[in-house]
Chain A
Amino acid sequence: MPAVVSAALALAGSGLDRVVAPVWAALQAREPALRLDSPWRAAGQGVTLALLGGFRALVADAAWIQMYAQWEKRDLPGTETLLRSVSAIDPRPVYFWLNGARILAYDFPAWRIAEAGGYDAVPPGVQRRINQEQAQAALRQIAAAMAFHAQSPELWVERANLELNRLGELEAAAASYRRASELPGAPHYVARLYGEVLRRAGRKAEALAWLTQLHPTLPAGDPGAAADLVLSRIRELERELAVPSASAYRPR
């Protein structure tokens, strides 16, 4: 009898699958967790969804509070385990990924150096290595987050900040800021930072071209857009590049 039941179900299921196939394709396109490349991660998400469903948010929040308890004790393995658990349980909020990456990049190096004797005792070379290791771990966290939130400017900005401030990779940071500025919902300051990083990287002509292109798009009455600051940067760059006054940028 089990053979009859299985055969009947398989036969009916293969027909019914065709009915729902367009809906499933639409759902997969909308939900990144359903098209993960890694079968283990996909299985983890499937089990989490099956067992917790909508409770994922509540359970992840509880795990996040627990993570802070470990963070206060500076328990590095405990904090890291819970950080990863939270984003595995509920990968939807960018908040968890973003703050997790910040803890990995900024808090963990300080804890590791303190454990090794403190900033005075640990040689600068070792400190640099620890900082780089943790920055790379944070970048991996950001990369994992991007599988779920490909269109999040916050993640690209965080990636750029890490590349700039923790790894000192100006070119990589510039590329990430540029990418962030092109995404919908990106704050105005990201485009300004892209110009600033270009300037720091010695690509002053490109920076000037970028900022002159950016300035007319900034709303004048919005303090967050900082149009005046952008204009002052343009003037500085024009001086540094000795741009003749006839060719100088003229705001409309």
Chain B
Amino acid sequence: MTAVPFSLRRAWLIAHNTLLEAVRQRLFNLLLFLALALVLGARWLRDFSFGAPELKFLADCGFGSIAFFGAVLTVTATAQLFFSEIENRTALTLLAKPVWRAEFVLGKYGGVVALIGGFCALLTGLLAAVLWWREGELMREFPESFAQGRVVSYGMVCLAGYLQWLKLAVLGAFALLVASYAQTQLFTVITGFFVLVICHLQHLAQNAYERAGSVAGGLASGLIAAIFPNFQVFALADSLAAADAPTLGQVARISGYGLGYLAVVCTLAVYSFRRREI
């Protein structure tokens, strides 16, 4: 295998193939349909909203759909697309050719990232359209409340969509890392969801580490805080108001954080897969 150099083109071909395979899957279509229905249906669900202002409620439903169905899609698609190659023995055929294992792993990951990218872009676009439409209606009904013009920052909506994608991409990398050594798809899916929850709770370990009285407790919580990324930081663009918009520096830092984790976890997935018996 060392006879041929690493080729991004081969990785790209695997990614392209993975994406095509993914969009043909019923699971993807089902999740996409459910998420789209929920974003569109939020317009009618608003009658049941008590606490939040209407536009915020619509945005919450939209981002909730992206986060929830996106996480399900990321974990299940990564596991399914990876294990289908192993279980159908197509990985053996593929890797018998001059294809690096790194190309295989990165290609699979590229396909998943493109899949969730399309998912996030579609839902964010739809959410922005629903918000624009409803905001227009409200502007006609209550012009005095919109004296300064539109209140929703559509830049923030797009930024939130991007950060959701980045978060899901990191989650996908972790799912891939688990898949690279796991024996079953079910194990990968369950572990993937555990990783999702741990990453959301990671800040508690960080707080415990800072407050730790005991050395052992401090080390344990510090280790958890260092190993798992903090998914709460990706909620920076949770507001609809332009006044709450993060600075460019903050967005760059979060992007660096996400991409850094993504690179490290993918490298480890390649390392792990290279040692695996197929």
Do the beta carbons of B230 and A62 come within 8 Å of each other?
A: no
Q: How far is the CA of A27 from the CA of B231 in the complex (A)?
A: 12
Nearest CB of chain A from residue B45's CB, rounded to whole Å: 7
Do the beta carbons of B225 and A9 come within 8 Å of each other?
A: no
User: Is the C-beta of A24 less than 8 angstroms from some C-beta in chain B?
Assistant: yes
Do the beta carbons of A61 and B253 come within 8 Å of each other?
A: no
User: Is the C-beta of A6 less than 8 angstroms from some C-beta in chain B?
Assistant: yes
Do the beta carbons of B232 and A42 come within 8 Å of each other?
A: no
Nearest CB of chain A from residue B182's CB, rounded to whole Å: 12
**A49 partner residues in chain B, CB cutoff 8 A:** 200, 232, 235
Number of A residues with CB within 8 Å of any CB on chain B: 50
Q: Which residue in B65, B196, B208, B271 is a CB contact (below 8 Å) of A50?
A: B196
Nearest CB of chain A from residue B18's CB, rounded to whole Å: 23
CB proximity to A under 8 Å, residues B46-63: 48-52, 56-57, 59-63
Do the beta carbons of B51 and A57 come within 8 Å of each other?
A: yes
| Complex interface: stretch among A12-20, A162-170, A179-187, A198-206 | A12-20
**A26 partner residues in chain B, CB cutoff 8 A:** 246, 250
Interface mask (B215-232 → A, CB under 8 Å = 1, otherwise 0): 000000001011111111
- Band of interface residues on B: 35 or more
From known contacts A23-B233, A56-B60, A65-B48, infer whether A8 and B268 are also in contact, taking CB-CB under 8 Å.
yes
| Complex interface: stretch among A89-97, A227-235, A240-248 | A89-97
Interface SS of chain B: helix, strand, loop or mixed? helix
Do the beta carbons of B225 and A17 come within 8 Å of each other?
A: yes
Q: Which residue in B64, B254, B272 is a CB contact (below 8 Å) of A5?
A: B272
User: Is the C-beta of B265 less than 8 angstroms from some C-beta in chain A?
Assistant: yes
Closest to A99 in B: B50
Q: How far is the CA of A215 from the CA of B246 in the complex (A)?
A: 41
Do the beta carbons of B226 and A1 come within 8 Å of each other?
A: no
Q: Which residue in A8, A11, A61 is a CB contact (below 8 Å) of B49?
A: A61
User: Is the C-beta of A10 less than 8 angstroms from some C-beta in chain B?
Assistant: yes
User: Is the C-beta of B159 less than 8 angstroms from some C-beta in chain A?
Assistant: no
Do the beta carbons of B207 and A20 come within 8 Å of each other?
A: no
Q: Which residue in A1, A19, A23, A39 is a CB contact (below 8 Å) of B236?
A: A23
Closest to A5 in B: B268
Closest to A42 in B: B204
Do the beta carbons of B233 and A24 come within 8 Å of each other?
A: yes
User: Is the C-beta of B154 less than 8 angstroms from some C-beta in chain A?
Assistant: no
Nearest CB of chain B from residue A91's CB, rounded to whole Å: 10
Nearest CB of chain B from residue A19's CB, rounded to whole Å: 5
**A10 partner residues in chain B, CB cutoff 8 A:** 223, 226-227
**B227 partner residues in chain A, CB cutoff 8 A:** 6, 9-10, 13
**B57 partner residues in chain A, CB cutoff 8 A:** 57-58
**A8 partner residues in chain B, CB cutoff 8 A:** 264, 267-268
Q: How far is the CA of A6 from the CA of B222 in the complex (A)?
A: 12
Do the beta carbons of B226 and A54 come within 8 Å of each other?
A: no
Closest to B211 in A: A39
Q: Which residue in B45, B68, B207, B271 is a CB contact (below 8 Å) of A53?
A: B68
User: Is the C-beta of A46 less than 8 angstroms from some C-beta in chain B?
Assistant: yes
From known contacts A20-B254, A95-B51, infer whether A55 and B268 are also in contact, taking CB-CB under 8 Å.
no
Do the beta carbons of A54 and B64 come within 8 Å of each other?
A: yes
Nearest CB of chain A from residue B153's CB, rounded to whole Å: 16
User: Is the C-beta of B26 less than 8 angstroms from some C-beta in chain A?
Assistant: no
| Complex interface: stretch among B104-112, B131-139, B255-263 | B255-263
User: Is the C-beta of B15 less than 8 angstroms from some C-beta in chain A?
Assistant: no
**B61 partner residues in chain A, CB cutoff 8 A:** 54-55, 57-58
Nearest CB of chain A from residue B39's CB, rounded to whole Å: 11
> Which A residues form the contact surface with B (CB < 8 A)?
1, 4-6, 8-17, 19-20, 22-24, 26-27, 30-31, 34, 39, 42-43, 46-47, 49-58, 60-62, 64-65, 90, 92-96
Sample of 18 more A-B contacts, CB < 8 Å, known A17-B226, A34-B232, A61-B49: A11-B226, A12-B261, A13-B225, A13-B229, A14-B226, A17-B206, A19-B260, A20-B254, A23-B236, A26-B246, A27-B236, A31-B235, A39-B204, A46-B200, A47-B201, A53-B63, A54-B66, A92-B52
> Which B residues form the contact surface with A (CB < 8 A)?
45, 48-52, 56-57, 59-68, 177, 181, 196-197, 199-201, 203-204, 206-208, 223, 225-233, 235-236, 244, 246, 250, 253-254, 256-257, 260-261, 264-265, 267-268, 271-272, 275
Give 22 CB contacts A-B under 8 Å. Answer: A5-B177, A5-B268, A8-B264, A8-B267, A13-B228, A16-B229, A19-B253, A22-B253, A26-B250, A34-B203, A42-B204, A46-B204, A50-B196, A50-B200, A51-B197, A55-B68, A58-B45, A58-B48, A60-B51, A61-B49, A61-B51, A93-B50
